[in-house]
Amino acid sequence: MENFLLWGFYFLTFYAFLPGLVSRTFGFRVFKRGRAEREIALTFDDGPDPVYTPLLLDLLKRYDAKATFFVVGIHAEKHPELLKRMHDEGHVIGIHNYVHKTNWLMRPRTVKKQINRTCEIIRQATGTQSVYYRPPWGIVNLFDFSNLGHLQIILWSALFGDWRKRVGADRLLNRMMKKLRPGEVLLLHDCGATFGADKDAPANMLAALEPFLAAGQSKGYRFVHIADMIALTDQTKKKAKKPAAMGWLKRITVACWMGWERAFHVLFRVKEVAEDCLFFYRVVPYHGKTLTLSDGSKIAAKDPVVELHMDNKKLLKLMSEARSMMQLAVMLLREAKKSMPLLARKLAADEAVQPAKGLYGVSMINRGVEQFGFDVLPIPKGFFDTSTRLYLKLLLRVLNPSGKERLHDQRSKLTPSIMAMSMDHFWQQAGSELRNDTRAARRNPSKTYGDSLHGGDDLPPVAYDNSNAAREFTP
């Protein structure tokens, strides 16, 4: 008997208590409070009621207020005309099970049947599919998070005990006035025909709601349904994610770093590709362990390579516009798509590139570059790996307007790697015409090729294959 009770306790804990606690406390997989400047969401449970729901709709119409009605299927089935009126007057209809019974006492399959049946009642009355669900008493079980398909679970930020008649209209209004503020999701009831509720309690709710709506209007607040509140919340979150403007110390640091980079380009003969290109480059001997590439070629120590450098001024601009490291990676790939033909033209015209065995670079933002023909290879452990990590993290921290916070959030994805491609593979990607032009440049070094953005009249069009580059970056 003791074991039976113990297993029963475990079952209830993981099936019911913990999911309910997590959803209510942390808002996991549920929406319970919005972020808005002057909007309040009104929600009504347990209806429709043939007496009180029409009066409520009249009241909402007088104040141009919108609301969300979480209907009980057994009530909605009897009054489809009220569902149609809700829909026609711009309100949102959600699901509150077919019968007002807690999900803790039903199997997952039964919960799903209750929801589907109520959803079909709503569809037949309004011609629309409901996408919002509020479980009775806000109680979810373990399977609700994964078993509800397209439905968004909606809870609340404030409730007032309005299902009890003894609360009275005055006390109910006092409670509601304490929550008269933007972003609140208020729970009220337009029907008293469910277990534990008083039949005439909605009369007090209506008496309190009218002065509440009037007070809200006088403060410039709007009463909206849950779809509008979710949309406003999403917009507010997007705005909040925009990086703040750089302070004076940050601007000085960035200016110094850019100055150092210009000096580096001069001292180490780093060449510009084109004005709007993401890359700089130089031809240097490769230092490191032999790289074996996917086309079978190898780059060994002291082999000449085209070492690619990213334009950090452009990177700074992209970082100031991106809201996440993933979005930054997408933007960088799009810039790379535009820059690869420019790089091909420039390298075709540069005699110093002739002996190079491949293209080579190191970056922390390297996911997705395979579509351009690069192999992504790990950096061998050692001093170079450690120093590269430190340098690149410092670089991104300096250039990132959000400072170290974004790097901290994405640190597991920021792993520096080698990006390499053999020159043969690069010219195959660039096209045979450009490779022939390279040979022409070798025969006639006095002739200038590719000095302009479009390559000039002397240079044939680049046939660089970017067919795969249009695909979205996937982290």
110: closest CA among 122, 123, 98, 95?
Answer: 98
At position 439, the amino acid (one-letter code) is R
62 in helix, strand or coil?
helix
In this structure, are residues 318 and 312 in contact, taking their beta carbons and an 8 Å threshold? no
Which residue of the set 45, 228, 311, 350 is catalytic? Answer: 45
* In the block, residue with structure tokens 């200038």: 448
CA atoms within 13 A on the CB side of 60: 26
455: closest CA among 334, 306, 343, 307?
Answer: 343
297 in helix, strand or coil?
coil
Torsion angle, alpha carbons of 48, 49, 52, 54, to 10: 60
Which residue of the set 79, 189, 225, 309 is catalytic? Answer: 189
30: closest CA among 194, 154, 188?
Answer: 154
182: closest CA among 30, 35, 32, 27?
Answer: 35
Helices (H), 68-200: 73-76, 80-88, 108-126, 144-147, 169-177
DSSP string, 344-408: HHHHHH-GGGTT--EEEEEES--TTGGGGT-EEEEPPSSHHHHHHHHHHHHHHHHH-TTTHHHHH
Instruction: Report the alpha-carbon distance of residue 157 to residue 39 in Å, rounded.
Output: 14
Count of helix runs (H) and strand runs (E) in the chain: 17, 17
What is the separation, in whole angstroms, between the first and last Cα of the chain? 51
Q: Is 189 a catalytic residue?
A: yes
Cis previous bond, 48, omega within 30: yes
435: closest CA among 349, 363, 325?
Answer: 349
* In the block, residue with structure tokens 């919340």: 233
> Which is it for the CA torsion 7, 10, 13, 16, positive or negative?
negative
414 in helix, strand or coil?
coil
Locate 227 and state its tokens.
């779809």
Q: Is 79 a catalytic residue?
A: no
Strand partners, 417: 363, 378
Mode of pairing for the β-strands spanning 298-299 and 304-310: unpaired
Instruction: Report the alpha-carbon distance of residue 303 to residue 104 in Å, rounded.
Output: 69
- Mind telling me the catalytic residues? 45, 189
